[in-house]
Structure 1
Amino acid sequence: MKKLVILGGGESGVGTALLGKEKGYDVFVSDKGKIKEIYKEVLINNEIEWEDENHSEEKILNADVVMKSPGIPDKVPLVKQIRDKGILVVSEIEFASKFTQASIVGITGSNGKTTTASLTHHILKQVLNVGLAGNIGDSFAKQVLEEGYDNYVLEISSFQLDDIVDFKPHIAVITNITPDHLDRYDYQFEKYIASKFRIAMNQTKADYLIYDADDEVIVEHLKKHPVQSTLLPFSLTKQIENGAYLKDDNINITINNNQIIMPTTNIKLEGKHNTKNAMAASTVSHLLKIRKQTIRESLENFQGVEHRLEHVLKINKVQYINDSKATNVNATYYALESMDAPTVWIVGGEDKGNNYEELFPFVNEKVKAIICLGADNEKLMQTFGGMVDVIVETQFMSEAVKIAYKISEAGDNVLLSPACASFDLFQNYEDRGRQFKSAVRNL
């Protein structure tokens, strides 16, 4: 019996444990932190051996294969020991993909992947039997075990791609690549780029890579490191022969001389970046032979993703917007770019070595006041102090929202778009976003 050791008892770990057990592995789950009660119950009910707040090295180093949670860096001594022993280390998507014949759409990128994956799934599910997994919802492994869909849309992070071996999506999407998580890649942008491109490493000419042709990082990397896949770029600025481009507010998509044209005027999602997300999702759908009318209707009734430019409430003619999912500067760039009114901007958190320079034009043009919400706001105060008349700092969401309420006027926006990770004051970006919404509703 092959021994499967799982490091990390979260959603992906427990899903993999269930699938592994079903497929005849001897499964052991080990978590250095505490395993949540809800996951403990699943493990106990399924008679899967587990431990938490500890790693039993002897047991772990006896594995045939190790599935490690994407949150555990390679630098951890235990992971080094596992690799030095020649034990295969895989990610959940690698493990689960071995047990499904389904057609896979894999979506990665620094920003926009959640929206693009959710939108793609929203279109495809009108016609196909399709699951949505990866970084969203129930784990891929659990869905392979319990649902057995014919198609999957997977939102995939660079950390999950770092541990693939044979994983091959039939259609891969790279939304964009901007510096993020560099602390995990020795502060070398090149390593992070290469990690994203692993999504195409096993693809052949029969598979497709859809990418943003306006993103110089992607275009340059493809020149130096060509892939086998059939390329379908999308662009807001250039005319594209095979792929998608924007002209006169219409998305034009051509695949093998088969063209469809989609008006963007009634798309629910606002902003240029969302036009790109819509292009990527529509290109996937066109490839999978979804009718133009179905794609268009789906684009027009898609509500968007929670914590991503989510319109919460209008109070005294001030619009409150929750963009808590903006955990890096580039995501906040898109948010500020799409603001069409004077904006009170709530920013801050755990800084990942941010360079805020690209935001300066928007701050000068659109931001009337800044509220710094972080355990340490010094860098923000120094960077933006001279740019706006009002800049204040706080450590509490309820206080940040109250200050915003006081300084905003009719016609303004109040935007939570932190550009930072949330772990200094919150459990995660969802917790941060929900606290914002709750504070707004309590005004």
Structure 2
Amino acid sequence: MRLVVLGGGESGVGTAILGKQKGYDVFVSDFGKIKDSYKEVLIKNGIDWEDEKHTESLILNADVVMKSPGIPEKAAIVKKLVEKGIPVISEIEFAAPFTKALTIGITGSNGKTTTTMLTYHLLKSAGLNVGLAGNIGKSFAEQVAEDKYDSYVLELSSFQLDGIINYKPHIAIITNISPDHLDRYDYKYENYIDSKFRITMNQTEEDYLIYDADDEAISEWLKYNKTKAKLIPFSLTKTFEEGAFIKDNTMEAIINQEEFKMETESIALEGKHNFKNAMAATSVAKLMQIRKATIRESLSNFQGVEHRLEKVLKIQNVQYINDSKATNVNATFFALDSMTTPTVWIVGGVDKGNDYNELMALVREKVKAIICLGVDNRKIIDAFGNVVDIMLEVNNMNDAVKMAQRITEKGDTVLLSPACASFDLFENYEDRGRQFKEAVHNL
């Protein structure tokens, strides 16, 4: 069996290692450059590879192809594979049959990283032998090759879900759905929504789907489509006989006739959206029969995720917050919504077709100044130019932070929450967040 891996990054190299271990004839092809560290791993494992090209004669003879999530379906080589009827799958689909481990799959436009990390924290604190993979850290395939975990918490993007055929998580979570990556879905929101719901398409009556019952797109889909999984909703406004909800400043989760309660003020993560992430993670913990005391302790000591509403420093009574992971409008909505002091907002980058109107009421209420950090800021200036008193443009992070410091007063907050991708001025959102933190520490 010939396995061709498109893309020589984390998921590609991990898949190659697992494929080789399982007796496949493996070839890795990357149209870009493969990092030296990954080349070394491929060479050490005796795996053939090429970069900066796709040699069709070495690819179109595959029995199965694993496509890295970053490569679009529209890529010429992918179209040729599909025409030939060669299965093109994701790393998760390839690796899942080689493990008996139970998987918890988490997707959503926002909140999935926090929910994934929090769920992992809850299960690990309870002493479970659990791995963490998907969009985070070491590839799922490579961890399956090492075969040392009984269960995995997987953060799954819509691109990873597009490449599944038979994979099903025992527990699935959809945190929320808002327009994102529409450039990959023919600019049709319904295609993106369907893509997210692939997480439940193979689930059976034995499995669970945990979802945000306040989310319009999710509720609509569930109204017109069926899943066999047992549904477990969570909500900030509704209550359920089975599910999780907030009532009188208390989070309650009722699952399998067992009730769990915790005061919301004891939850380490702040903000309404984080209560949702906590309800989703708690629901998993209850399904995995983790003790109440362990759940309480884990929710109260969780540190949060880097680059997601991360408090960096307080300088002269001004709080600096790094929310670089907010790469779409919906994520920035959560960030602005959780601000309680006058805010200097650093925003901008590569626009994915953003509609800034959703933020208008929050900007009027909370934002005293906007600093645009992008190559092209026209849309942001058009949207908010008449709404805030101060609107500035910069083209590097140091200037953004220095400028912010100049216009703040005691008690203000400086919030980096870009609502955009980072590729115009930075390598990725992590690089953007690190540069922000460095600039703040250098003030």
Please say whether Structure 1 and Structure 2 have the same fold, judged by a TM-score greater than 0.5: yes
* TM-score grouping bracket, smaller chain normalisation: over 0.9
Name the residue aligned to 1:64. Answer: 63
1:35 paired with 2:34, answer yes
Counterpart in the other structure of 1:7: 6
1:55-134 matches, cutoff 5 A: 55-126=54-125, 127-134=127-134
For the pair 1:379 / 2:379, whether they are aligned, the reply is yes
Shift of 1:242: 1.1
1:171 equivalent in structure 2: 171
User: What is residue 49 of structure 1 aligned with on the other side?
Assistant: 48
**What SS is found at the alignment partner of 2:93?**
helix
Q: CA deviation at 1:148?
A: 2.4
Q: Report the 3-state secondary structure (helix = DSSP H, G, I; strand = E; otherwise coil) of the residue aligned with 1:269.
A: coil
The one-letter code matched in structure 2 to 1:237 is T
- Residue of structure 2 in register with 1:280 after alignment: 280
Question: Which residue number in structure 1 is paired with residue 405 of structure 2?
Answer: 405
Deviations 1:124-181 (A, max 9, x none): 0122100010000000011111242000000000000001011010000000000000
Indicate yes or no: 2:202 matched with 1:212.
no
Partners of 2:346 and 2:256 lie apart in 1 by: 46
Q: Distance in 1 between matches of 2:269 and 2:363?
A: 23
- Aligned with 1:62: secondary structure? coil
Q: Is the 8 A contact 1:168 1:202 kept in 2?
A: yes
Letter in 2 for 1:230: K
Moved over 6 A (4+): none
TM-score of the aligned structures, taking structure 1 as reference length: 0.99
RMSD of aligned alpha carbons:
0.6
What is the alpha-carbon distance in structure 2 between the residues aligned to residue 385 and residue 37 of structure 1? 46
- What is the letter of the counterpart of residue 158 of structure 1? S
The runs of 5 or more residues in structure 2 that have no matched partner are none
Distance 1:434 1:349 in 2: 16
Any idea what SS the aligned residue of 2:393 has?
strand
- Identify the residue that residue 232 of structure 2 maps to in structure 1: 232
What amino acid does structure 1 have at the position aligned with 2:298? S
Q: CA deviation at 1:108?
A: 0.1
**Does the residue aligned with 1:420 lie in a helix, a strand or coil?**
coil
Q: Which stretch of the first structure deviates more once superposed, 357-366 or 324-333?
A: 357-366
Determine the C-alpha separation between the residues in 1 that align with 2:46 and 2:256: 51
1:97-147 alpha-carbon deviations (Å, 9 max, x no partner): 010010110000000000000000000012210001000000001111124
Distance 1:304 1:229 in 2: 29
- Aligned residue for 2:204, secondary structure, equals coil
Residue-pair matches, total: 442
Give 1:24 deviation, angstroms: 0.4
Q: Distance in 2 between matches of 1:383 and 1:261?
A: 43
> Given that residues 2 and 62 in structure 2 are in contact (C-alpha distance below 8 angstroms), is that contact kept between their aligned partners in structure 1?
yes
**Other structure's SS at 2:311 match:** strand
- Counting only pairs closer than 5 Å after superposition, residues 338-357 of structure 1 correspond to structure 2 as 338-357=338-357
Question: Does structure 1 conserve the Cα–Cα contact (< 8 Å) formed by 2:124 and 2:130?
Answer: yes
Maintained 8 Å contact 1:347/1:417: yes
The aligned residue for residue 24 of structure 1 is 23
State TM-score, norm by structure 2.
0.99
- Asked if residue 196 in structure 1 is aligned to residue 160 in structure 2, the reply is no
Amino acid at match of 1:159: F
SS in 2 for 1:125: helix
Determine helix, strand or coil for the equivalent of 1:251: strand
The one-letter code of the counterpart of 1:273 is H
Q: Give the distance between the partners of 2:274 and 2:217, measured in 1 at CA.
A: 19
SS of the equivalent of 1:277 reads: helix
Q: Distance in 2 between matches of 1:218 and 1:84?
A: 33
Answer whether contact 1:236 1:276 (CA < 8 A) is retained.
Answer: yes
Question: Deviation at 1:279?
Answer: 0.1
Question: What's the CA shift string for 1:189-212, capped at 9, x where partnerless?
Answer: 000000000000000111000000
Q: Please tell me whether residue 363 in structure 1 is matched to residue 363 in structure 2.
A: yes
Partner of 1:247: 247
